[in-house]
Chain A
Amino acid sequence: MSAQEAAAHAPAEHQTSTGLDNVKLAMWAFLGSECLFFGSLISTYLLYRNRVLDGPRPHEIYDIPYTSVSSFVLLMSSVTMVLALAAIQRGDHRGLRIWLLATAMLGTVFIGGQVYEFTAFVEEGLKLSTSTFGSAFFVMTGFHGAHVTVGIFMLLSLVGMSMFGRLSDADGPRKVELIGLYWHFVDIVWIVIFTVVYLIPTN
């Protein structure tokens, strides 16, 4: 993945054949590729969620109210993200930093929630090595969590860059929009996971 985050930062080139921005195109191409990545992980989970020879089954262990809250938190972080974008497009850098920090904070809350959920599951006897369900669940949600964490780092870097005036040129909004695209993608992945993994009942 790192390569692509790097791509999101490569220098801009505006005299292009399509008139579109290279880095933004690259980000969208990368997100298209990510669809296959999470598609594989989610399919694996769907294949394995009912194959529990040992340990708890999905519906015995999921805490829907708890997960609903953390899902809601992540969802709202998307709102604060677009508000950050709107702020810098207005040239309001203070607003930008506030909304970015808000987004990063919401993301951190979500990650904290996931860490707590994992520890709770482990205490209830579901580990990576317990069953195919355990493996599929932890690896899938783990990779999503890793994406969120990377996103948080990128948001904080944006805040830092903004404080050193590195977003003050006309290129600033573009940088924010790119990180925003990544962040929203991570959010829609969770929208799918929350429904398909948590809400849809298993037998």
Chain B
Amino acid sequence: MATVVAPRRGIFARPTGATGWLSWVTTVDHKRIGIMYCVTAFAFFIIGGLEALLIRAQLAQPNGEVLSAEAYNQFFTMHGITMIFLVVMPMGVGLMNYLIPLMIGARDVAFPRLNAFSYWVFLLGGLFIYSSFFLGGAPDGGWFGYAPLSTQLPGDGMTFYSLGLQILGVASLAGAVNFIITIINMRAPGMTLMRMPVFVWMSLVTTFLLLFAMPVIAVALFQLMFDRVYEANFFRPSAGGDPLLWQHLFWLFGHPEVYIMILPAMGIVSDVLPTFARKPIFGYAAIVFAGIAIGFMGWGVWAHHMFAAGLGPVANSAFALSTMFIAVPTGVKIFNWIGTLWGGAIRITTPFLFAVGFVAMFIIGGLSGVSHSIVPHDQQQTDTYYIVAHFHYVLFGGAIFGLVAGFYYWWPKVFGYLLSEALGKLHFWLMFIGFNLAFAPMHILGLQGMPRRYYTYPDGMGWNFWNLISTLGGFVIALSFVVFIVNVIRSHKKREEAGDDPWDGRTLEWSIPSPPPEYNFARVPVVQARDDWWHKKYVETPEGEPTRVFAGGANGDDAHGSEEDAGHGIHMPDPSYFPLVASFGLPIMGYGVIFQPVLIGVGALILMLGLFGWVLEPSAEEAH
């Protein structure tokens, strides 16, 4: 692309070099950022898992002595915060980061440096919240932080909560904008919206939910912060503050948040199943519009978290109805997944097992979800282990199974080698059994009247047996992830080359080398159909059976050219220090609010300098 102006002399040189830790710290490559997202999220997953094991150990038997009430409250709060904000969301974002550009035929996201900024803010935000353990106690008011308890709890725990989530919100918002624009605007020629892989579609819905949900929780968290630190009255009943305001704002964010966590997994499954069934997705349009419908309806059901709060029969009925009918689009998706398997030639691989596990478990979560909409009985279920069972079937049986399916599916693309199928299947069965052992009994515990967030329970309530089973299951899940880690290490040593297209995939990312070059596509592909890559490899016979038009595929036309000309003349955005610099401003401001007002100014200054450097550094093409 010809440039007309003379290159500016930037005051700030941009870092160079493609290897070494500095290249990771300053990278703006969506693939590296995606990997960093997933690795960080997995690290937090292990921490959150250990917290869960401590919780289960405490509850394994009546009058447990493992944890004190104080410790228990901190651990269940941090378990929730960690798994939601530091594991499921960032894992989804990590996969989006890595895959969306590859799937839509782009060379990077719309805003590479903003992308890096999102990651660093996410990382620092997570560390900020966890630093509270060493600075006088972690948040202990529940991830839902109901006021006025959250404004009354002593110590800085809940202040860390309000500020930490605020910081993570900045990361999510930046990421959301970035991906929305990337998907709208960075598609390869011919990649129309209705040709996009379902994962990209679900990511688009997810990012829109983030875009509109994050500001609401931001306001709620600010109000909580002002109440705690600056003696405001938003949630102070004695001054006329209304505790229900927090609940409305929180769940206005909190329910879309549920779909923010589950939709990317649904997208992954919708791409994994067709590949291994060797069949196009059944009812592409229906599955896409179902996703969009879920996104919309997700805004009309928040008050079903408040059926016991006293909204009155009219509001309760209205939200009961909306809650029931959001099950319809969800059902559509499940039927379409089954339809995708129907008549296929299914290769039962590890990613496929996890994807089917997702569908199987999500059905249970969906059914128990419908049972919440019968309000009078929800008043029995709410805040019992029945709820805990329900959302673990959705977020673990759902989201985590889907994400792990994604890891096994795209691992060969990202690292160029295959994970062991034998260990992978062992991982699946251990996780599947452990999961059901851990969470199926919670349905019963809930119906037997065991409330959540109890650090102890007495003997003679009929809860002992199932709690023990559940704890057992928890440890089986832990074991299954040990197997996963072993799998990664051993497969890495063995390094069984995957080739470009190990699964005979359907979408663009399989048309390029594994791991992909920095510029993704040597020649930007021209897309002619949905599942473009599949249609380049196969034509359908009149009987509707696919026959290969050429073998392998990686060297076909529109795939990456021969290596010597590959990447020639492609200008990728240069790495940058400033996303990292700027991101440091936020946690420093956070500590400032809690400990020393001066730091607020310092943080703001760092943020501003970072942004100025960001703006003023010569942008990519001028470095050439």
Which of B114, B233, B573, B619 lies in contact with A3, CB distance below 8 A? B114
A131 touches B211 (CB 8 A): no
- Residues on B close to A: CB < 8 A? 1, 4-5, 8, 110-114, 117-118, 121, 170-171, 173-174, 176-178, 180-181, 184-187, 191, 211-216, 218-220, 222-223, 226-227, 230-234, 236, 239-242, 245, 249, 573, 582, 585-586, 607-608, 611-612, 614-615, 619-620
Check A4 against B177 for contact (C-beta < 8 Å): yes
Interchain CB contact under 8 A, B211 and A33: yes
Task: Determine whether the beta carbon of A2 is less than 8 Å from that of B114.
Answer: no
- Asked if A6 is an interface residue, CB under 8 A from chain B, the answer is yes
**What A residues does B4 contact at CB under 8 A?**
169-170
A189 → chain B, closest Cβ, in Å? 13
Among B174, B178, B214, B223, which residue has its beta carbon within 8 angstroms of that of A44?
Answer: B223
Q: How far, in angstroms, from A11 to B114 measured CA to CA in the complex?
A: 10
Q: Knowing A3-B174, A4-B174, A33-B215 are in contact, say whether A25-B239 is a contact too (CB < 8 A).
A: no
Q: Contact check, B240 vs A132: say whether CB atoms are below 8 A apart.
A: yes
**Additional pairs, 20, CB under 8 Å, beyond known A6-B614, A29-B177:** A4-B174, A6-B615, A13-B186, A15-B1, A17-B185, A18-B184, A18-B185, A22-B185, A22-B186, A26-B111, A26-B181, A32-B212, A37-B218, A53-B239, A54-B239, A128-B226, A131-B233, A134-B233, A135-B241, A169-B5
Contact across chains for B240 and A10 when beta carbons are under 8 A apart: no
Beyond A40-B219, A132-B241, whether A22 also contacts B110 by CB under 8 A is yes
Query: What residue in chain A is nearest B236 (Cβ atoms)?
Result: A132
Cβ A40 vs Cβ B185 within 8 A: no
The residue among B110, B176, B177, B181 with the most chain A CB atoms within 10 A of its own CB is B181
On whether A135 and B114 interact (CB within 8 A), knowing A17-B186, A18-B184, the answer reads: no
**Contacts of A32 on B, CB cut-off 8 Å?**
211-212
Interface residue from B5, B185, B239, B607 paired with A16 (Cβ < 8 Å): B185
A-B contact pairs, 25 of them (CB 8 A): A1-B170, A2-B582, A2-B585, A6-B582, A7-B114, A10-B113, A11-B619, A13-B110, A18-B184, A22-B111, A22-B181, A25-B180, A25-B181, A33-B173, A33-B215, A40-B216, A48-B234, A48-B242, A53-B240, A54-B239, A128-B231, A131-B233, A134-B232, A139-B226, A143-B222
A29 x B241 contact (CB < 8 A):
no
The answer for the CA separation of A131 and B215 in the assembled complex, in Å, is: 24
Residues from chain B with a CB closer than 8 A to the CB of A157 are 612, 615
Place the interface of chain A in its size category. 35 or more
- Does A9 sit within 8 A of B, measured CB to CB? yes
Is A20's beta carbon under 8 Å from chain B?
yes
Q: Is the pair B114, A10 in contact by a Cβ cutoff of 8 Å?
A: yes
Return chain B residues, CB-CB under 8 Å to A20: 185
Residues of A within 8 A of B114 (CB): 3, 6-7, 10
Minimum CB–CB distance from A90 to chain B (whole Å) comes to 19
In the assembled complex, which residues on chain B have CB atoms less than 8 Å from the CB atom of A17?
184-187, 191
- When the two chains form their complex, are residues A11 and B241 in contact, meaning their CB atoms are under 8 A apart? no
Nearest CB in chain A: distance from B245 CB, A: 6
CA distance A2 to B178 in the complex (A): 14
Residues of A within 8 A of B234 (CB): 44, 48, 132, 135-136, 139
